[in-house]
Structure 1
C-alpha cells in the first residue's frame, strides 16, 4: 500500500515538473493573410499593379509589412507560420526575403482565396494590408474581392468586407482573427465583429485614391507590436461564426454576368444586376466566389 502510494506521489511530482518543459514544445500556429491596398503608402493602381511605376518598390514594402507581422507573431510564441499572398495575381511577396521556416501560399486560383491553407490546426489569424468594403463610403481602394465587377457582396443579408468574409472562413474552423493592419476604415470594419483584435492603423483615408500615411518603417513597427499583442491574447478573442445555411447575394456592375450565371440551377437572378446563391457552409460560398471570379472562356485550351 505504501509502495503504491509512493509511486503515485512520484508520478504527481513528475507531472507537476513537466509543464515548463512541455510548454516550450507546444506548437502555436499563426495564419497571415496579406493584401496590398492597406499597405502604408498605397493609394493608386501605380503601386498595386505590375504595370504601375511604383509596383516593384511597393512589393518590397508589402513584404516588409509581412515580415513585421511574422516577427510580431514569433515574439508572442508562434512556432509555425503560414503566409497567404492575397493580392491581385497572388504573386507579390518576395519569397526570398521570408524566413526559412515560413510556408508561403501563392498564385491563383484557390478554393478559399485569400484564406487558402487555413484549417482547425491554427490558433490565430492575422490580416495585413487590408482595405474596406465596396459598400463603405470611405477607404482607400474600397472594394470587396473585385473593384471592377461587384457593387455588393452580402452573406445572410449582411454586407461583407474581405475582412469579415475571411474572418468567417477562419471562424468555420474555430480560429479567431487577432490583428489587422490597413487604413482606419478597414480596421473599424474588423473591430465591429472582433472588438478584441489588435489594430494597426497605418494610414487615414482621404478618398478612394488618397490618404495621409505613415512611413514604411513606422507602419512596420506598429504592425509588429499589434500582431504580438493580438497573438498573445488570442484566447480572449472569439472566432467569428456565421449561421448556416449561407445565402450569398452578389451585385454586379454589368447585367451580363448575372444573366449567364442564372443559367446554373443553383443560382437565382434577383435583379437585372444581382444573383443569389445558397451554400451549406461558408466554404461553399468561398468556392463559388473563386469560380465566378476566375472563370472565363479565354482559359479554355
Structure 2
C-alpha cells in the first residue's frame, strides 16, 4: 500500500511564535524537533498497518524543514521550493491514501493560530464556489481529482468544523487549539503522539473498510481571491482569465482542481514579487 503525507508547521503543537517558522529564526530548531518526532510516529504507524511505500512532502515555507538524517528511513522525502502543486507535489492516482499533518486554519479564521491560506503575504481570504477554503480543502480537492482520499487531518482544532462539514469521513486529530493569531494551547507531547497513532490506526481501518472517499466538488470551480495589496489586482486585471471585482478582489474560473491550485500558486508567487519590489524601493 502507498501513502502520501503532507506536513506543515503552523498546526503542530509546540509552535506558537514567528521565531519558530523559518531557518535562522531563534527557535526554529525546536519546531524541527517536534516536526520530526510526530512525523516519524505517523510513518511508523502506517508501516505497522501494511504501508510499504510512504512519501513525505515537506510543505512549510521553503520546504526544507525536515532533517533528512533524522527522518524514518522507510519514507521517501520530497523537499524544496518552488515546486509544482506545492504541498501535494507528486501526489497521483497511484496512492491509496493521503494524510495531512500540522495543518492550520484558513486565513480569516477567528483565533486560528498563524492562520493563512497558501500565502499570508498575498491573500486575506480564498473562496471556492462561495465557500471560504483552507489549504486542507484546496489540497484535498487536488487529491480527490486523482481519486485519493484524505484519510487523516491533524492540526489546529479550528479545522474540525471544516472536516465535519466537507469531509466527514476524514479522521481529525487536534494537535493544538489557537487562542489568538500568535497563541495556542496544546497537550504534552506523549499525549499528542498517542493520539496520532490512534488516529492513523482508525483512518487505515476506515480506508480498508471502504468508508472514506475522495473529496470532489462540482466544476467548474469559481474562485474569489481577496488580496492584501491592490497592486496584485492591478497586475492581474489585464489578463482575460481574471475578473476584477474591486480594489482587492479578483475572481477566475478553473475546470479542474489542478488548474485551480496552479493559478492560486501563480498568484502567490506574484505576491512574493510585489512584496520584494516594494522592499527594494529606497
Provide TM-score, normalisation by structure 1. 0.86
Q: Give the structure 1 partner of residue 23 of structure 2.
A: 50
Q: Give the structure 2 partner of residue 247 of structure 1.
A: 222
Residues in 1 aligned to 2:43 and 2:149: alpha-carbon distance in whole angstroms: 17
Describe the SS at the equivalent of 2:213: coil
**1:19-34 alignment to 2 at 5 Å?**
28-34=1-7
Q: Give the structure 2 partner of residue 122 of structure 1.
A: 95
Contact 2:151 2:212 in 1 (8 A): yes
- Deviation at residue 54 of structure 1 after TM alignment: 0.9
Q: Give the structure 2 partner of residue 292 of structure 1.
A: 267
Contact 1:126 1:178 in 2 (8 A): yes
Q: Deviating runs (4+, > 6 A) in structure 1?
A: none
Return closer, same or farther for 1:198/1:88 CA change in 2, 3 Å cut-off. same
- 1:87-108 Cα offsets, whole Å, 9 max, x none, are 1111101111223331111111
**1:90-239 alignment to 2 at 5 Å?**
90-234=63-207, 235-239=210-214
Worse overlay, 188-197 or 31-40: 188-197
- 1:147-189 Cα offsets, whole Å, 9 max, x none, are 2221110112211111111111111111111111112112332
Contact 2:105 2:112 in 1 (8 A): yes
Q: Give the structure 2 partner of residue 281 of structure 1.
A: 256
Q: Give the structure 2 partner of residue 78 of structure 1.
A: 51
Residues in 1 aligned to 2:221 and 2:166: alpha-carbon distance in whole angstroms: 18
Contact 2:43 2:74 in 1 (8 A): no
Contact 1:111 1:286 in 2 (8 A): no
Residues in 1 aligned to 2:97 and 2:78: alpha-carbon distance in whole angstroms: 17
Return closer, same or farther for 1:199/1:54 CA change in 2, 3 Å cut-off. same
Contact 2:63 2:81 in 1 (8 A): yes
Provide TM-score, normalisation by structure 2. 0.91
Describe the SS at the equivalent of 1:103: strand
Residues in 1 aligned to 2:186 and 2:74: alpha-carbon distance in whole angstroms: 31
Aligned length, in residue pairs: 272
Larger radius of gyration: 1
- Deviation at residue 286 of structure 1 after TM alignment: 1.1
Q: Give the structure 2 partner of residue 18 of structure 1.
A: none
Aligned-pair RMSD on alpha carbons? 1.7
Describe the SS at the equivalent of 2:176: strand
Contact 2:163 2:172 in 1 (8 A): no
- Deviation at residue 288 of structure 1 after TM alignment: 1.2
